Amino acid sequence: MKGLLSSKTVAALLLGLLAGTLVFGIALRPFIRGGTAAASPYQRPYPMPHQYWAKTDEFYVFASGGQQGGVYVYGIPSMKALSEVPIFNEDMAWGWTAEDPEIRQMLTNPWTGELITRGDTHHPSLSKTDGKYDGRWLFINDKMQARVGRVDLDTFRTGQVLWIPNTTGGVHGFNVGPDTRLAVQNFEHEQYPEEAIRKHLGLEIDPIQGPYVAGVAGIKIAENGTMSNAWQVWGPWQFDMARIGWGKSAGWLMTTAYNTERATDAVGMFKREQDYLFFWNLASIQKALAEKKYVTTQQAPDVPVIAWKDVEVYVTPVPLNPHGLDVSPTGKYLLTSGKATTLVVAVDFEKVTQAVQEKKFIGEEYGVRILDPNAVRAATMDLGMGPTHIEFDDKGYAYVGFFVDSDIKKVPLGEPYTKLHQKEPWKVSDVLPAHFSVGHLLVPGGDTAQPYGKYLISMNKLTKDTFLPHGPLETENHELFNIEENPALLVDQMPLGPETHYSQAIPVSLVSSKAKHAYTEAKALAAEKPRVEYDYARKEVRVTMSVVRSFFTPNPLTVPQGWKVKIRLVSGETAMDITHGFALDGYNVSVSLDPGEVREVEFVADKAGVHWYYCIWFCSELHMEMRGRMIIVPQGEWAPAKETRLAL
Amino acid sequence: MKRQQLLALAAVPLFLASLAFPFWTARMKAPTYPEKALAMELYAYKYDGDLEEWNRVGRAVGVRVPPPVPDVFFPLFTAAVVGMGALALAGALRERWLGVAAVCPWLVLGVLMAWGQYSLYLFGHSLDPERPLRYLEPFTPPIVGVLTLGKIQTYHFPYVGSLLFVAAAALVVASAWQAGRLRLAWPRTRREAPVSAD
């Protein structure tokens, strides 16, 4: 072997290696380094490098769209709108239409069979593991129809819509628990429920005079994200906000009620001096289920309905018409604000458990014991007019939004956070002006065990003169503050469509690595060829149609007038962002087809004539030419000889 | 075992390993594909890469990948690579085969490059007459080099399989050199010629 490594051989090998490195290195360099192509006469200076925004944004924001029916997605700190995810409303722009039977099924009321395309999203709640965001799913509720949707964060597409029984709608607070096994949905609008529930509660309810009843629905979330109705607890009161505790408050569900008066109009709803914050022992709900202390209804025979008196629940008085209800990162403090007051209360959960043990009650209502507020509060703060929601940062501060004052107050928390901020707790340390009328706030991770801090978004209900005028209805204003600066710095403002309630922000790294560029369904179906099947017995045409730049196959497609048309659209695309659409002239039919996706459309071909189907997304230089003919042959003129036949 | 035998033996696995890698590749960079360069790869037994995607881009130009080759191309290509391995093995066992084993791989490489270049000529000269961009004249992509069509640039170059093949061929040459089978044209041969009888 020694002889093999002569100086000549080594020199020859080194020379060869050098030559190889030069040849292959130079040729391969643009691909290895991801560099740009050689200079071209078309190159122009560009104000910033390509991917500047993709590489500098730190968080995704998922903002509820309110009556838009889905969520908006944007990045911070760029404040660049990225996407809208339709959930409860049909939205042709993003390909969310009921011609697709899968989407139709999600939007159809399972008890009435009615297609409902109106929704009002309120509270997004990201999936969590150990109380921290994990980037799997976003859950969000629909106030109007009592539904909860799940958005899958690999596709940014709605994967499930769960309908909640026993209510006509009007839900509000929604929260996913620290391990994404349980979510809760509060009933805000009081109900006149089925007789089984009325009897079980044992309360006098007049359908016209009231007072009505309400409750909270428990939703089980399976390992794969599938939601199901698990239980409901009903009682005399409606509920507004909901938080499932963690850390110091683990095992408890907290809710607020702004109408403990049980009134039916606005004046009646703030007659009292104070309302209640509720503490529900989640184990006691499981115990009631195990002991079968529940009823079921005709509408939902598999959903147990428990009465409030059969579970362990306490209340404590809080300032009138509470709205915000938020839990500090360790689960110790619950901050709640009285909308109709200037007060924000901090309840120490450790004091709550102690007060329960020491029986520090000041009375009871409907059998629910009332905890002495002086025994459970850490602070009662007079901070300003119209306090709304609260978020927390990573440095021991709470941020409270004010609707009337149009600002945000920064307040240092008590122990154990004083060692972080070294300030006197519960005294305002900064005021952030907002434009105008703060509803919700968000700090990335600000409702979890791991706030990321750094930024705060104020979701302002009114914009007024902040942007160019655009008619009597002004858009909403999302304002970005840098809260690492002291005082906090207003960095940017973004007009965004109606109407955000709560939003959540999650680090880019938890989502972007999982985001798909293309679906793989179509690949699995690659062997499936386009085909057309005429079913004379059912008067139905079933089609498998391949969709790929710049062709629909089959084309043309002949259909007898009045027949049902079922088309399975199979995208043959694999490149990112090459989305196609299928819109049919003169029909209420338009769907989108992402790369590699399989979608279906179903409709009745009731209008005769030549109707073109065309791609609605500008997919290639020959996008306009990407179209085909659906020839709907008038009744009486059809003959089997007119069937579309495909060469196989 | 002699040094020359070891060198020839070492070439055998390199020849065979080259089968597992592309011999040649083309990479297309187009403005609408910032996420990746589309790849077309030539193995000794198949074409591979983003061929479907390439054709979607190429439709406007009227080209279809991969460049056309006759049915016998891949069987011949594979057989030639295996054959070179067999020759190297023969050279390691029987010295008289070393000369042939050293020369043949370069002939194979030459034939392949000529054939490849001809395929690329055919590729660029059989444009679809129905192509949208009919103003584009037929063209010949280089087997090694860059082709630019507007803002689309295609890089063509030998790849890992070729590198292994050339390395193996070089080892066989070194082996033959050691064995004195390639010394005929080398000046030292003359110096070593027998001196005069006086």
**ipTM of the complex model:** 0.73
pLDDT at position B150 = 82
Q: Tell me if A131 is assigned to some domain.
A: no
Cα Dmax for chain A: 107
Four-CA torsion A11, A17, A19, A24, nearest 10 degrees:
180
**pLDDT > 90 in chain A, percent:** 87
The 10s digit of each residue's pLDDT in B94-136 is 998 998 999 999 999 999 999 999 999 999 999 999 888 888 8
Distance CA A488, CA A168 (A): 43
Residue of chain B whose Cα is closest to the Cα of A31: B37
Number of domains comprising chain A: 1
Alpha-carbon gap, residue A260 to A317, rounded angstroms: 10
User: Among B166, B8, B159, B10, which residue's Cα sits nearest to residue B81?
Assistant: B166
Residue A30 to residue B170, Cβ atoms within 8 A:
no
Can you give the pLDDT at residue A36?
47
Average pLDDT across chain A, whole number: 93
Domains, chain B: 3-188 (1.20.140)
Q: Reduced to 3 states, what is the DSSP secondary structure of residue A515?
A: coil
* CA distances (Å), origin A175, targets A10, A11, A27, A569: 69, 70, 55, 37
Mutate to test the interface with B, among A26, A580, A621, A622 (most CBs of B within 10 A): A621
The minimum CA-CA distance between A212 and chain B, rounded to whole Å, is 58
Q: Are A133 and A510 in contact (CB under 8 A)?
A: yes
Is A228 within the bounds of a domain? no
B21–A contact, CB cutoff 8 A? no
Contacts of A148 (CB under 8 A, 6+ apart): A139, A140, A141, A142, A161, A162, A164, A174, A183, A185, A219, A227
The amino acid at A248: K
- Residues with Cβ within 8 Å of B160's Cβ and at least 6 positions away in sequence, in order, are B18, B21, B22
Q: Which of A19-33, A73-87, A354-368, A441-455 has the lowest mean pLDDT?
A: A19-33
Could you please report the per-residue DSSP string of A418-473?
Answer: HHHH-S-TTS--EEEE-SS-EEEEE-TTTTSSS---SEEEEEES--TTSS---SSS
Coil, strand or helix at A363: strand
Q: How far does CA A87 lie from the centroid of its chain?
A: 9
The confidence score (pLDDT) of residue A29 equals 52
Strand-strand pairing, A540-548 and A564-571: parallel
Cα A443 versus chain centre, distance: 16
Question: What is the model's pLDDT at position A553?
Answer: 96
**C-alpha span between A175 and A325 (Å, rounded):** 11
- Single-letter code of the amino acid located at A604: V
Residue A102 burial (10 A CB sphere; 0-12, 13-18, 19+):
exposed
User: What's the confidence (pLDDT) of residue A388?
Assistant: 95
- A65 closest CA partner among A141, A161, A178: A141
Nearest Cβ partner of B37 from A27, A31, A622? A31
- A574 vs B: CB within 8 A: yes
Let me know if residue A547 belongs to a domain: yes
Q: Is residue A638 part of a domain?
A: yes
- Find where tokens 């070729």 sit: B162
Q: Tens of pLDDT along A196-234?
A: 999 999 999 999 999 999 999 999 999 999 999 999 999
Does the residue A628 lie in any domain?
yes
Partnered with residue B157 across adjacent β-strands are: B25
- Residue B190: Cβ within 10 Å count: 9
Per-residue pLDDT of B28-49, as tens digits, reads 998 888 888 999 999 999 999 9
The set of residues, in sequence order, having a beta carbon less than 8 Å from that of A567 and lying 6+ positions away, is A543, A544, A545, A582, A600, A601, A602
- Residue A51 has a pLDDT of 85
The residue written with tokens 């297309």 in the block is B28
Cβ-based neighbour number of residue B189 at 10 Å: 12
Which structural domain range is residue A594 located in? 521-642
In whole angstroms, what is the distance from residue A231 CA to residue A159 CA? 22
- The predicted pLDDT at position A97 comes to 96
What does the pLDDT look like over A500-530, one tens digit per residue?
999 999 999 999 988 898 888 766 666 678 9
Q: Please indicate, yes or no, if residue A585 is contained in any of the structural domains.
A: yes
> Residue B31's closest chain A neighbor by CA?
A37
pLDDT in tens, A137-195: 999 999 999 999 999 999 999 999 999 999 999 999 999 999 999 999 999 999 999 99
Q: Is the dihedral of CA A14, A18, A20, A24 positive or negative?
A: positive
Bridge partners (DSSP) listed for residue A233: A216, A306
Which residue among B29, B34, B174 places its CB closest to the CB of A50?
B34
Decide if A541 is inside a domain. Answer: yes
Comparing C-alpha atoms, which of A257, A387, A253 is closest to residue A327? A253
> Which one-letter DSSP state was computed for residue A36?
P
Mean pLDDT calculated for residue range A437-459: 97
Q: Is the pLDDT of residue B196 over 60?
A: no
C-alpha to C-alpha distances, A539 to A177, A535, A564, A604, nearest whole angstrom:
49, 6, 6, 10
A30·B34 Cβ contact <8 A: no
Chain A partners of B174 at a C-beta cutoff of 8 Å? 9, 12
Following CA atoms A379, A383, A385, A390 in sequence, which dihedral angle do they give, to the nearest 10 degrees? -70
Contacts of A40 in chain B (CB under 8 A): 148, 151, 153
Per-residue pLDDT tens digits for A346-358: 999 999 999 999 9
Alpha carbon distance, N-terminus to C-terminus of chain B: 39
> Tell me: the pLDDT tens digits for A617-637?
999 888 999 999 999 999 999
- Judge whether A353 lies within some domain: no
Using a CB–CB cutoff of 8 Å, tell me whether A48 touches chain B.
no
Could A4 and B167 be called an inter-chain contact, meaning their C-beta atoms sit closer than 8 Å?
no
Residue among A144, A383, A400, A368 at smallest CA distance from A260 = A368
The per-residue pLDDT for range A112-146, each reduced to its tens digit, is 999 999 999 999 999 999 999 999 999 999 999 99
- Residue A167 gets which letter from DSSP? -
- CB-based contact (8 Å) between B153 and chain A? yes
pLDDT for A44 beyond 70: no
What are the DSSP E strand ranges found in A330-406?
Answer: 333-338, 343-348, 361-365, 368-371, 377-382, 387-392, 397-402
Whether residues A574 and B151 touch (CB distance < 8 A) is answered with: no
Mean pLDDT of A548-574: 95
Instruction: Residue A607: give its domain's CATH number.
Output: 2.60.40.420
B112's enclosing H/E stretch is helix B98-125
Question: How far is it, in rounded angstroms, from Cα A463 to Cα A474?
Answer: 6
pTM: 0.87
Residues of B in contact with A20 (CB under 8 A): 163, 166-167
Determine whether the interchain pair B157/A28 forms a contact, defined as Cβ–Cβ distance below 8 Å.
yes
Interface residue of A22, A40, A578, A617 to substitute, partner B, most B CBs within 10 Å: A40
Q: Which chain A residues have a beta carbon less than 8 Å from that of B153?
A: 37-38, 40
pLDDT single digits (tens) B154-188: 999 999 999 999 999 999 999 998 888 775 544 45
Residue whose C-alpha is closest to residue A504's, from A194, A200, A120, A151? A151
Residue partners of A320: CB distance under 8 A and separation at least 6 = A270, A272, A273, A274, A275, A338, A339, A340, A341
Contact B123, B67 (CB under 8 A): yes
Residue A1's pLDDT is what?
44
